[in-house]
C-alpha cells in the first residue's frame, strides 16, 4: 500500500539546488505539504504557456523559492511530515490557480493525472484467475511500441496470458524506426512518459535514443520482453464465431501459421508506413534516396548536394542537422508549417534540476502535472470555427486570428535580415489546420544560411541528376531525402481483419477509419485498437494520456468479458454511430477539418480519422468505465475448458 505520509526531504540539500527549482511545481508541492493554497498568490501565478517554467521575472522566482523553502523549513521544525497526496480541495485549489474554475469531472480527471512516485492508479485491481477460474484465455497484442507495451503490462498485472507480436526485430515502435539526425520528441519529455513510470530525462524534449532506451528498460523491468515474438507479422485476423476466437495468421522467418486468441489489441501505431509521393521519374534518381523513417546511416552526406522534400515535423528536425556536413541543402516546400516557439526544445536539463526531479518527494509529480494542466482545455477555442466571424483560409475565428498574429510575429521577428524569406515562410492557412511544429529558432537560422535554399515552386518530375520544377529549373542533387510523412489515415493496413459475418474491416471503414473512443468497433467482437482512430490531439490534452485512457478501456473490456463469463463482447452499432456522428460534426468545426490545406489529419474523403475534436474531459468520461449496455455480450459459444471442467 502506498504511504499516506512522506518524510520531508533534507532541506539543506534542497537549498543547494534551489535556483534550479521551477517555482510553479515548487509552490504546488508546498501547498500540498501544508494544505494551504493561499500561498499560491495571484502575483505568483505562472504564465500557463510557459509551464513548467513560471515565465515570471527572475527576481520574483527568487522570492518564491525563498518563501517556499522557509515554509518547508518551519514545517520541518515542527517535526512535520507531508501528506503523500493532496486532498481533493487542495488539488482543486492548485489546479484552479492555473486554469480558473473547474468542473467536478475535471477535478476527478486531474486527480488521475497527478501520479506520484510508486503510484499506479490504473493498475488492474482484479485477477484473471479470480474472475475466470480455469477458463483458457489468451490475448494477442500487435505491436511493441508505447501503446502495445502498456497494454501488455496491464494484461500481465491482471494475470491474463498474452503474447505480443512485433514485426520489427526490436521493440519501441516509432522510436525504433525513426533514427534520423536530431530525431527527438516534440511533446515535453515529462508528459511523454507513462504517468506511473517516471524517468530521469536528460532534456526537456528528449532525443530518440533516450525514449527508445526508456521503453526498452520499461519492457525489461516489467518482464514483457519474454512475451514478445519479434520478427513476426500478423498477416490477418479472422473472427471464428464457432470457437469465439480470433484466428491469426502469423508470418515469420519459419513461414506462416495460424494461432487462436480470445481477444486482440491492435497497437500498430499511425505514423509507421512511410508515404513517398508518386512523383514521375522517382525511381530514376541516380544517387541515394531515402525516407526520414528509413534513414540510411551508411550514406555519408559530407560535401554532398542534398535535396529535402517536405517541411513537416520530421524535416524540420533532420534538415538543419545535415546542413553542416552537406555542401548545400535545398528544401522543396509545398506548404510552410506554423511554428510554436519553444526555447527549451534542444536544451538539456541541468544536474541540479534533475536532482530535484529525482529526489525531492512529489516534486516530479507536480512538475508533470504543471505541464499537463494548461493542456486540460488547451487552446481549442483558437482552433474552433466561428461561422459568424466569418471563417476564411486565413483565420477561422477571432481567436484563431489572434493566434495567427502571435505566430506570425514569431516568424517575422526572426527574418528582419532576410525579408526575402517572409513570403515563403509565413503560412497562408489558419493556424491549427495542421500540425504546428515546435521550434527554438533553428528553422529560420537554417533557412538563412548561405548554403541553404528554400524553394516553393512545385515539383514536376525527378530525373537522374535531381529534381525538375514546374518552371523547368533543375535542382541538382547527390542525395534525395524524403520528409514526406506517413500513410497515417490507412489504419491497420496492410493487415486483413475479418469480423462477424465475414465483415472486412477495411471495407467497412472504406477509407474512413473509426472506433468508439478509438478502441472498439461494431462487428469486431473482442477486438480493440490502441492509439486508434480519432485519438490524436493538437491544441489540447496529451497523446500519452490518451493512450493510457485507451489501454484502461481495453483492460476494463477484458475484465467485463471475464467477469460476465461472456465469450464475446461487441460494441452496439447505435453507440458507435452516435459517437461517430458527434466526432465528424465536431471535427468539421475545427480548423483542421474546415480548412482545405493538405495534412495527414485528413483522409481522402476530407474527414479526419485522426483527431479528437472534443474536450479532454469528454475522453476521460468515455473511457472511465466500459458500460455493459454499450455491448452485446454473447454466452452462446462454447468455452471448451469450462465444458471439460464440468
Ligand atoms: P508530415 O507532417 O506529413 O509532412 C510531410 C511533408 O511532406 C509536408 O511538408 C508535405 O507538404 C510534404 N509533401 C508530401 N507530399 C508531397 C509532395 N508530393 N510534394 C511535395 N511535398 C510533399 O510528415 P512528418 O514531418 O514526417 O511528420 C508526421 C508527424 O509525425 C508529425 O506531424 C508528428 O505528429 C510526428 N512527428 C513527431 C516528431 C516528434 O515528436 N519529434 C517528429 C517527427 C514527426 P504539405 O504540407 O503540402 O502536405
| pLDDT tier for residue 2 given thresholds of 50, 70 and 90 | low
Q: Is 484 in the pocket of ligand 1 (CB under 6 A)?
A: yes
Q: Percentage of residues in the chain with pLDDT exceeding 90?
A: 95
Q: pLDDT tens digit string along 411-466?
A: 999 999 999 999 999 999 999 999 999 999 999 999 999 999 999 999 999 999 99
Digit-coded pLDDT (tens) for 173-199: 999 999 999 999 999 999 999 999 999
State the distance from the centre of ligand 1 to the C-alpha of 319, rounded, in angstroms.
13
Q: Is the pLDDT of residue 638 over 90?
A: no
311 CA to centre of ligand 1 in angstroms: 6
Query: Which ligand 1 atom minimizes the distance to the CA of 187?
Result: 40
Residue-level length of the chain: 646
**Cβ of 598 less than 6 Å from ligand 1:** yes
In the block, cell 474554475 appears at: 101
Q: Is 185 in the pocket of ligand 1 (CB under 6 A)?
A: yes
Q: Which atom of ligand 1 is nearest to the CA of 292?
A: 26
Asked whether the predicted pLDDT for residue 163 surpasses 80, the reply is: yes
Q: Is 311 in the pocket of ligand 1 (CB under 6 A)?
A: yes
Best of 269, 334, 345 for a ligand 1 pocket test (most atoms within 8 Å of beta carbon): 334
Pocket flag, ligand 1, residue 483 (CB < 6 Å): yes
Closest ligand 1 atom to the C-alpha of 437? 32
- With the most atoms of ligand 1 within 8 angstroms of its CB, the residue from 186, 312, 335 to mutate is 312
Domain boundaries, the chain: 5-121+354-375, 136-273+488-579+625-634, 282-345+387-482
- Range list of H helices, 133-246: 146-158, 174-177, 208-221
335 lines ligand 1 (CB under 6 A): yes
- Answer whether 540's CB lies under 8 Å from 379's CB: yes
**Strand order of the sheet with strand 139-142?**
228-229, 162-165, 139-142, 263-266, 527-529
pLDDT above 70 covers a percentage of the chain that reads 98
Which among 279, 459, 485 is the best mutation to test ligand 1's pocket, defined by most ligand atoms within 8 Å of the CB? 485
pLDDT bracket for residue 603 (50, 70, 90): very high
**Integer distance in angstroms from the first to the last C-alpha of the chain?**
38
Pick from 484, 531, 608 the residue to mutate for probing ligand 1's pocket: most ligand atoms within 8 Å of its CB.
484
Among candidate residues 265, 268, 267, 264, the one with its CA nearest the CA of residue 240: 264
Phi, psi of 189 (to 5 degrees): -50, -40
**What is the CA(343)–ligand 1 centre distance, in A?**
22
Ligand 1 pocket, 309 CB below 6 A?
yes
pLDDT(644) > 70 = no
Give the list of residues 6+ apart from residue 532 with CB closer than 8 angstroms, or none.
266, 491, 513, 515, 518, 519, 550
Which fold is adopted by the domain 136-273+488-579+625-634? FAD/NAD(P)-binding domain (3.50.50)
Distance from C-alpha of 352 to C-alpha of 198, rounded to nearest angstrom: 17
Q: How far is the CA of 556 from the centre of ligand 1 (A)?
A: 35
Whether residue 645 is predicted with pLDDT greater than 60 in this model: the reply is no
Q: What is the pLDDT of residues 380-411, one digit of tens each?
A: 999 999 999 999 999 999 999 999 999 999 99
In whole angstroms, what is the distance from residue 435 CA to residue 271 CA? 14
- Cell numbers of 67, please? 518563501
**8 A C-beta contact, residue 250 and residue 232:** yes
- Mean pLDDT across the stretch 82-100? 97
The residues, any chain, with a CB within 8 Å of residue 406's CB and separated by 6 or more, are none
342 phi-psi bin (left φ>0, alpha ψ -120 to 50, beta other): beta
Atom 41 (ligand 1): residue with closest C-alpha? 185
- pLDDT-derived band at 81, boundaries 50, 70, 90: confident
Please answer whether residues 386 and 398 qualify as being in contact, where contact means their C-beta atoms are separated by less than 8 angstroms: yes
pLDDT value at position 636? 75
As a whole number, mean pLDDT of residues 236-256 equals 97
Gyration radius (Cα) of the chain, Å:
26
Question: How do 568-571 and 289-291 pair as beta strands?
Answer: unpaired
* 144/260 Cα distance (integer angstroms): 19
Domain 282-345+387-482, classified CATH 3.30.56.10, yes or no: no
Is residue 282 lining ligand 1, measured as CB closer than 6 Å?
Answer: no
- Phi/psi for 317 (5° steps) reads -90, -50
480-484: average pLDDT: 98
Residues 105-130: what's their mean pLDDT? 97
CB 428 less than 6 A from any atom of ligand 1: no
Using an 8 Å Cβ cutoff, are 233 and 250 in contact? yes
Q: Is residue 642's pLDDT more than 50? A: no
Q: 8: pLDDT confidence band, cut at 50, 70 and 90?
A: confident
Nearest CA to ligand 1 atom 36: 313
Q: Report residue 636: phi and psi, to 5°.
A: -90, 0
The ligand 1 atom at the shortest distance from the C-alpha of residue 598 is: 48
Which residue's CA is minimally distant from atom 14 of ligand 1? Answer: 484
Residue nearest to atom 48 of ligand 1 (CA): 598
In this prediction, residue 313 carries a pLDDT of 98
Residue to substitute in 209, 295, 310 for testing ligand 1 pocket (most ligand atoms within 8 angstroms of CB): 310
Give mean pLDDT, residues 334-354.
98
**Closest residue to atom 12 of ligand 1, CA basis:** 310
Rounded to the nearest whole angstrom, what is the distance from the C-alpha of residue 191 to the centroid of ligand 1?
23
**Ligand 1, pocket-test mutation among 172, 181, 279, 314, most atoms within 8 A of CB:** 314
**564-574 average pLDDT score:** 97
Q: 414 with 407: CB under 8 angstroms?
A: no
CA–CA distance, 345 with 293 (Å, rounded to integer): 21
- Ligand 1 closest atom vs CA 438: 41
Which ligand 1 atom minimizes the distance to the CA of 183?
41
Cα atoms found within 13 Å of the Cα of residue 352, Cβ hemisphere only: 10
Beta-carbon contacts of 161 under 8 Å, excluding residues fewer than 6 positions away, are 128, 137, 138, 139, 155
Between the CA of 465 and the centroid of ligand 1 the distance, in Å, is 24
Q: pLDDT of 38-55, one tens digit each?
A: 999 999 999 999 999 999
CB 312 less than 6 A from any atom of ligand 1: yes
User: Is the C-beta atom of 334 inside 6 A of ligand 1?
Assistant: yes
Q: What angle do CA 315, 320, 322 make, to 5 degrees?
A: 95
What distance in Å separates the CA atoms of residue 354 and residue 367, rounded to the nearest whole number?
12
Q: Which residue has the cell 534538415?
A: 319
pLDDT of residue 637: 61
Q: What is the mean pLDDT of residues 467-493?
A: 97
**pLDDT(567) > 50:** yes
* CB of 336 sitting under 6 A from ligand 1: no
Residue 646 clears pLDDT 50, i.e. is over it: no
Amino acid at each position: 500500500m502506498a504511504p499516506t505520509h512522506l518524510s520531508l526531504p533534507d532541506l539543506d540539500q534542497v537549498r543547494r539546488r534551489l535556483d534550479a527549482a521551477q517555482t510553479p511545481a515548487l509552490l504546488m508541492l508546498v501547498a500540498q505539504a501544508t494544505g494551504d493554497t493561499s500561498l499560491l498568490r495571484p502575483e505568483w501565478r505562472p504564465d500557463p504557456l510557459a509551464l513548467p517554467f513560471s515565465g515570471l521575472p527572475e527576481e520574483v522566482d527568487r522570492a518564491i523559492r525563498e518563501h517556499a523553502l522557509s515554509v518547508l523549513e518551519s514545517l520541518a521544525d515542527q517535526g512535520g511530515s507531508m501528506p503523500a497526496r493532496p486532498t481533493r480541495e487542495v488539488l482543486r485549489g492548485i489546479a484552479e490557480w492555473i486554469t480558473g474554475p473547474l468542473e467536478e469531472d475535471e477535478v476527478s480527471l486531474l486527480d488521475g493525472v497527478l501520479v506520484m512516485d510508486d503510484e499506479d492508479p490504473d493498475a488492474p485491481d482484479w485477477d484473471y484467475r479470480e474472475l475466470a477460474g480455469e477458463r483458457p484465455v489468451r490475448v494477442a497484442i500487435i505491436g511493441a511500441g508505447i501503446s502495445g507495451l502498456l497494454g501488455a503490462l496491464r494484461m500481465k498485472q491482471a494475470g491474463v496470458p498474452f503474447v505480443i507480436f512485433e514485426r520489427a526485430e526490436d521493440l519501441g515502435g516509432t522510436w525504433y524506426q525513426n533514427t534520423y539526425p536530431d530525431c527527438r520528441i516534440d511533446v515535453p519529455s515529462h508528459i511523454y512518459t507513462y504517468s506511473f513510470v517516471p524517468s530521469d530525462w536528460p532534456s526537456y524534449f528528449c532525443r530518440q535514443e533516450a525514449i527508445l532506451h526508456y521503453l526498452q528498460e520499461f519492457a525489461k523491468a516489467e518482464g514483457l520482453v519474454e512475451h514478445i515474438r519479434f520478427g513476426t507479422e500478423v498477416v490477418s485476423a479472422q473472427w471464428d464465431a464457432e470457437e469465439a476466437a480470433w484466428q491469426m495468421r502469423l508470418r515469420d522467418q519459419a513461414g506462416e501459421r495460424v494461432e487462436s486468441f480470445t481477444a486482440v489489441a491492435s497497437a500498430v501505431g499511425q505514423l509507421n508506413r512511410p508515404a513517398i509521393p508518386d512523383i514521375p521519374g522517382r525511381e530514376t534518381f541516380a544517387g541515394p534516396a531515402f525516407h526520414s523513417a528509413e534513414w540510411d546511416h551508411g550514406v555519408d552526406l559530407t560535401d554532398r548536394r542534398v535535396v529535402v522534400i517536405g517541411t513537416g515535423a520530421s524535416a524540420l528536425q533532420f534538415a538543419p542537422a545535415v546542413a553542416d556536413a552537406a555542401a548545400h541543402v535545398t528544401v522543396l516546400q509545398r506548404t510552410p508549417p506554423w511554428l510554436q516557439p519553444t526555447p527549451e526544445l534542444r536544451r538539456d536539463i541541468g544536474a541540479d534540476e534533475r536532482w530535484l526531479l529525482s529526489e525531492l518527494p512529489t516534486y516530479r509529480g507536480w512538475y508533470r502535472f504543471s505541464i499537463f494542466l494548461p493542456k486540460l482545455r488547451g487552446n481549442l477555442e483558437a482552433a474552433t470555427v466561428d461561422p459568424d466571424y466569418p471563417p476564411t483560409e486565413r483565420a477561422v475565428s477571432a481567436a484563431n486570428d489572434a493566434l495567427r498574429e502571435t505566430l506570425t510575429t514569431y516568424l517575422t521577428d526572426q527574418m528582419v535580415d532576410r525579408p526575402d524569406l517572409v513570403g515563403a515562410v509565413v503560412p497562408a492557412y489558419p493556424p491549427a489546420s495542421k500540425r504546428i511544429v515546435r521550434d527554438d529558432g533553428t528553422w529560420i537560422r537554417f533557412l538563412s544560411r548561405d548554403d541553404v535554399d528554400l524553394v516553393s515552386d512545385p515539383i514536376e518530375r525527378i530525373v537522374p541528376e535531381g529534381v525538375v520544377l514546374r518552371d523547368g529549373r533543375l535542382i541538382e542533387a547527390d542525395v534525395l531525402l524524403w520528409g514526406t510523412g506517413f500513410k497515417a489515415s490507412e489504419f491497420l493496413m496492410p493487415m486483413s481483419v475479418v469480423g462477424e459475418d465475414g465483415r472486412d474491416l477495411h471495407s467497412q471503414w472504406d477509407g474512413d477509419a473509426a472506433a468508439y473512443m478509438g478502441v472498439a468497433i461494431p462487428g469486431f467482437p473482442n477486438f480493440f485498437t490502441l492509439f486508434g482512430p480519432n485519438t490524436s490531439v493538437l491544441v489540447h490534452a496529451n497523446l500519452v494520456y490518451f493512450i493510457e485512457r485507451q489501454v484502461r478501456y481495453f483492460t476494463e473490456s477484458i475484465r467485463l468479458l471475464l467477469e460476465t463469463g461472456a465469450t464475446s463482447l461487441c460494441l452496439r452499432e447505435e453507440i458507435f454511430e452516435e459517437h461517430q456522428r458527434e466526432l465528424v460534426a465536431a471535427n468539421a468545426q475545427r480548423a483542421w477539418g474546415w480548412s482545405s490545406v493538405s495534412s495527414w489529419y485528413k483522409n481522402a474523403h476530407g474527414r479526419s480519422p485522426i483527431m479528437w475534436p472534443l474536450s479532454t474531459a469528454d475522453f476521460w468520461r468515455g473511457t472511465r468505465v466500459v458500460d455493459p449496455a454499450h455491448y452485446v455480450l454473447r454466452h452462446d459459444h462454447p468455452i471448451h475448458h469450462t465444458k471439460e471442467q464440468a
